[in-house]
């Protein structure tokens, strides 16, 4: 499965089976986390037993209380942290999708119960529920390309492909509060329009765009 296939197949899953993740897959996830932590100056951690991470009422109503495992998204606290979490965290999510597992980005969770290591100068930003879904989730209504594009004149094919994948990116409460600007020199900018976890969303959107466009948009953070 390619990352593009993973993008098209992956949907947020909030109800999980009690089945544990096989050790062989845990090892692969841990190896990918180590790779991405090094690239993104992050401290993401897979916690195999989610325990009471999702014991808040909202989580129970949503079904996340059934998630067997969780990824704590942590990193050095600076102005780029949230976007780095989104960018590298989404690559991890797509990798996990390729392994046949399901995920859900979750900003609401019990930070006291997540049992992650947060070092001095670091911040726990968000979590990702991981496991075997009771279903595979479902797609949500998306904006049109015209609603998120800022561009003059003709748009190259690679840009349109990037936007197509960006519109499939998960965003907090499906807000899609971003715009993608194509400049005259064919460089690309991503515009944050604000809202809950919008900077995390922007990192996710940027990674999706790059996968669709098959090119990096800027020097990594």
Which residues on neighbouring strands pair with residue 104, listed in sequence order?
Answer: 129
**Closest alpha carbon to 195 in 179, 183, 207, 210:** 179
User: What pTM was computed for the model?
Assistant: 0.96
Please list, in sequence order, all residues whose beta carbon lies within 8 angstroms of the beta carbon of residue 140, skipping any fewer than 6 positions away: 11, 174
189 has pLDDT over 90: yes
61 has pLDDT over 90: no
14 has pLDDT over 80: yes
**pLDDT tens digits for range 141-168:** 999 999 999 999 999 999 999 999 999 9
Q: How many helices (H) and strands (E) does the chain have?
A: 7, 7
Q: What is the rounded distance in angstroms from the CA atom of residue 54 to the CA atom of residue 63?
A: 9
Instruction: Name the residue with higher pLDDT: 61 or 7.
Output: 7
E strand or H helix at 188: strand 188-192
Which residues on neighbouring strands pair with residue 122, listed in sequence order?
Answer: 76
**pLDDT tens digits for range 81-132:** 999 999 999 999 999 999 999 999 999 999 999 999 999 999 999 999 999 9
Q: What is the rounded distance in angstroms from the CA atom of residue 167 to the CA atom of residue 178?
A: 10
Looking at residue 66, what DSSP letter applies?
G
Query: Domains in the chain, ordered, with CATH?
Result: 3-131 (3.40.109.10), 145-213 (no CATH)
Q: Residue 86 has what pLDDT?
A: 98
Please list, in sequence order, all residues whose beta carbon lies within 8 angstroms of the beta carbon of residue 82, skipping any fewer than 6 positions away: 125, 197, 199, 200, 203
Side by side, which strands form the sheet with 188-192? Answer: 149-150, 178-182, 188-192
Question: Do residues 5 and 97 make contact, with C-beta atoms less than 8 angstroms apart?
Answer: no
């Amino acid at each position: 499965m390619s990352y593009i296939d993973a993008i098209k197949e992956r949907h947020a899953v909030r109800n999980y089976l009690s089945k544990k993740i096989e050790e062989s897959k845990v090892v692969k996830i841990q190896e990918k986390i180590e790779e991405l932590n090094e690239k993104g100056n992050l401290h993401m951690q897979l916690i195999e037993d989610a325990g009471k991470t999702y014991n808040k009422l909202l989580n129970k109503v949503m079904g996340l209380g059934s998630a067997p495992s969780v990824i704590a998204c942590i990193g050095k606290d600076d102005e780029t942290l949230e976007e780095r979490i989104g960018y590298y965290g989404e690559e991890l999510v797509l990798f996990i999708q390729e392994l046949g597992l399901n995920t859900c980005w979750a900003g609401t969770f019990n930070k006291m119960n997540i049992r992650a290591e947060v070092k001095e100068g670091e911040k726990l930003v968000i979590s990702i529920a991981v496991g075997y879904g009771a279903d595979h989730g479902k797609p949500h209504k998306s904006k049109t390309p015209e609603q998120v594009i800022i561009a003059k004149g003709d748009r190259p094919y690679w840009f349109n492909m990037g936007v197509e994948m960006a519109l499939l990116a998960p965003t907090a409460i499906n807000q899609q509060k971003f715009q993608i600007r194509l400049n005259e020199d064919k460089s690309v900018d991503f515009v944050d329009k604000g809202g809950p976890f919008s900077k995390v969303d922007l990192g996710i959107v940027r990674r999706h765009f790059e996968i669709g466009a098959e090119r990096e948009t800027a020097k990594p953070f």
